[in-house]
């Protein structure tokens, strides 16, 4: 079996940590049990380009038990947990992922996953899909479909579909309610604070935290930072999101103003150069910057490198840039998503829902093989609702249901004042 990981001797530790994450993934457990019985993915070749974490380990084992012939590669050079990768290899899953791999190795790993000739692709950021479409077009006719985990990936895929370039159907798992309402908000919220804390050991209380991008992730980060006692400033380009931030109780202002007062800057926009040269020029000595958006383009690192007179690594994941006027700015995790670079990514309990959606959407694609034309599709509502229902049940929460009278009332228009 072909694979490329850091150290196979980490497998036992990885196995235990995958099992530990599994404790918090009751919905995945149910999916896995059914998959093991019914084998809905029997003999299907799948390539998964995902953050290689212990939660992904649980998804991978469910797909394997479902009969899939699965290979995995990293969806980010810094997000791999080397022990999880080692465990997956021990479970017989070819895995290509090493924490800290350079860009060349990253794409070599994507190509190794594509060499598997996948019939299904599971992507987080659309690098696998875009590499297949740009460099391995011969594979495309055999691909039944794909799934996409994150906002940035869905945006890239929609752009491909708009330009008539997407050659197979892809389900936007990110857009399921049981995904982005929870994973992006509570998962990114908590794990971003965790990543920055682990990298720096800063005290959040009393700090001025600038959150750039008040989408699903930004809302979660702002709320968690506020809960830690920080003064939160939100920076936005969308009037509605800015208004929401203001009414949620945060200060809202242009970044060029926030740059002068912020202690910690966190980007989560999915956009390029959300923090740029003009902002570095205004920042206080000691300002810290971190990104939690998918790609490392949100902070203009090439401009920062140019402006800096010197650079030192102060601790793992903390780079100090000293500018000509002696101000020191700190960049965390090379501007890569800090929750996965310096911490462990989202807690298992939210990945439970994201990955149950992934597994069920893959099953849906196989069941509907040949019926879906190339496009980006929403997660079927039945899957989204089922994941929500199962999660509530696992959390021992019951809710009310509509009476016949209420159903009729809500379906009608005749009754008024």
Binding region for ligand NAD (CB under 6 A)? 150-152, 180, 184, 188, 212-218, 235-238, 241, 268-271, 274, 292-294, 337, 339-340, 345
Cβ distance 319 to 173 under 8 Å? no
Decide: residue 202, CB within 10 A, 0-12 exposed, 13-18 middle, 19+ buried: middle
Q: How far apart are CA 45 and CA 86, in angstroms?
A: 21
Q: Could you write out the DSSP letters of every residue in 140-166?
A: GGG--EEEE-SHHHHHHHHHHHHTT--
Question: Which residue has the closest beta carbon to ligand NAD?
Answer: 215
- Residue 210 CB, shortest distance to ligand NAD, in Å, is 10
Q: With respect to ligand NAD, which residue has the nearer C-beta, 182 or 321?
A: 182
- Closest separation between CB of residue 149 and ligand NAD, Å? 8
Q: Which is nearer to ligand NAD, 46 or 126 (CB)?
A: 126
Q: Which is nearer to ligand NAD, 209 or 337 (CB)?
A: 337
Cα–Cα distance for residue pair 387/173, rounded to 1 Å: 12
Q: Using the minimum distance from each CB to ligand NAD, give the nearer residue, 225 or 235.
A: 235
Nearest CB to ligand NAD, comparing residues 260 and 312: 260
Half-sphere exposure of 175 toward its Cβ, with a 13 Å CA cutoff? 17
Task: Rank residues 68 and 290 by Cβ distance to ligand NAD and give the closer one.
Answer: 290
For 287, counting Cβ atoms within 10 Å of its Cβ (0-12 exposed, 13-18 middle, 19+ buried), the class is buried
As measured in angstroms, the least distance from the Cβ of 269 to ligand NAD is 4
- Which of 197, 322 has the CB closer to ligand NAD? 197
CA distances from 313 to 194, 266, 320, 340 (A): 20, 20, 6, 19
Pairing between strand 308-315 and 288-291? unpaired
What minimum distance in Å lies between the beta carbon of 154 and ligand NAD? 8
Q: Edge-to-edge, what's the strand order for the sheet holding 120-123?
A: 95-96, 69-74, 45-50, 120-123, 145-148, 170-172, 376-378
Residue 100 beta carbon to ligand NAD: minimum distance, rounded to whole angstroms:
18
The distance of Cα 375 from the centroid of its chain, to the nearest Å, equals 21
Give yes or no for a contact between 320 and 328, defined as CB atoms under 8 angstroms apart. yes
Task: Identify the helix (H) or strand (E) that includes residue 397.
Answer: none
User: In the complex, what is the shortest distance from the CB of residue 86 to ligand NAD, in angstroms, rounded to a whole number?
Assistant: 22
Min separation Cβ 339 and ligand NAD, Å: 5
3-class SS of residue 357: helix
Least distance to ligand NAD from the beta carbon of 141, Å?
Answer: 29
Nearer to ligand NAD, 242 or 281 (CB): 242
């Amino acid at each position: 079996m072909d694979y490329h990981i850091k150290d196979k001797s980490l497998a036992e530790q990885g196995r235990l940590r995958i099992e530990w994450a599994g404790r918090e993934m009751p919905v995945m457990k149910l999916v896995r049990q059914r998959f093991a019985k019914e084998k809905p993915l029997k003999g299907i070749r799948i390539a998964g380009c995902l953050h290689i974490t212990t939660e992904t380990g649980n998804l991978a084992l469910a797909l394997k038990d479902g009969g899939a012939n699965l290979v995995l590669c990293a969806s980010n050079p810094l997000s791999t947990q080397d022990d999880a990768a080692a465990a997956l290899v021990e479970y017989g899953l070819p895995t290509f992922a090493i924490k800290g791999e350079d860009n060349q190795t990253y794409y070599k790993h994507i190509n190794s996953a594509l060499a598997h000739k996948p019939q299904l692709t599971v992507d987080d950021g659309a690098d696998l899909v875009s590499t297949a479409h740009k460099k391995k077009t011969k594979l495309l006719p055999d691909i039944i479909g794909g799934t996409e985990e994150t906002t940035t990936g869905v945006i890239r895929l929609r752009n491909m579909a708009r330009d008539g370039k997407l050659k197979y159907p892809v389900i936007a798992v990110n857009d399921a309610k049981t995904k982005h309402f929870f994973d992006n908000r509570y998962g990114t919220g908590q794990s971003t604070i965790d990543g920055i804390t682990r990298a720096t050991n800063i005290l959040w209380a009393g700090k001025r935290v600038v959150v750039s991008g008040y989408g699903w992730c930004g809302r979660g980060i702002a709320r968690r930072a506020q809960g830690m006692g920080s003064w939160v400033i939100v920076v936005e380009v969308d009037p509605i999101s800015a208004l929401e931030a203001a009414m949620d109780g945060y200060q809202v202002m242009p970044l060029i103003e926030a740059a002068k007062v912020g202690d910690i800057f966190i980007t989560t926009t999915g956009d390029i150069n959300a923090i740029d040269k003009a902002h570095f020029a205004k920042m206080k000595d000691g300002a810290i910057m971190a990104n939690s958006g998918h790609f490392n383009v949100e902070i203009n690192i090439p401009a920062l490198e140019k402006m800096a007179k010197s650079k030192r690594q102060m601790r793992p994941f903390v780079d100090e840039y000293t500018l000509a006027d002696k101000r020191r700015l700190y960049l965390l995790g090379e501007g890569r998503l800090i929750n996965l670079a310096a911490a462990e990514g989202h807690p298992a309990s939210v990945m439970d829902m994201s990955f149950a959606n992934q597994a069920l959407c893959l099953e849906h694609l196989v069941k509907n093989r040949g019926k879906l034309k190339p496009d980006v599709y929403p997660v079927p509502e039945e899957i989204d609702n089922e994941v929500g229902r199962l999660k509530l049940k696992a959390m021992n929460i019951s809710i009310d249901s509509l009476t016949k009278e209420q159903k009729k009332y809500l379906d009608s228009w005749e009754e008024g004042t």
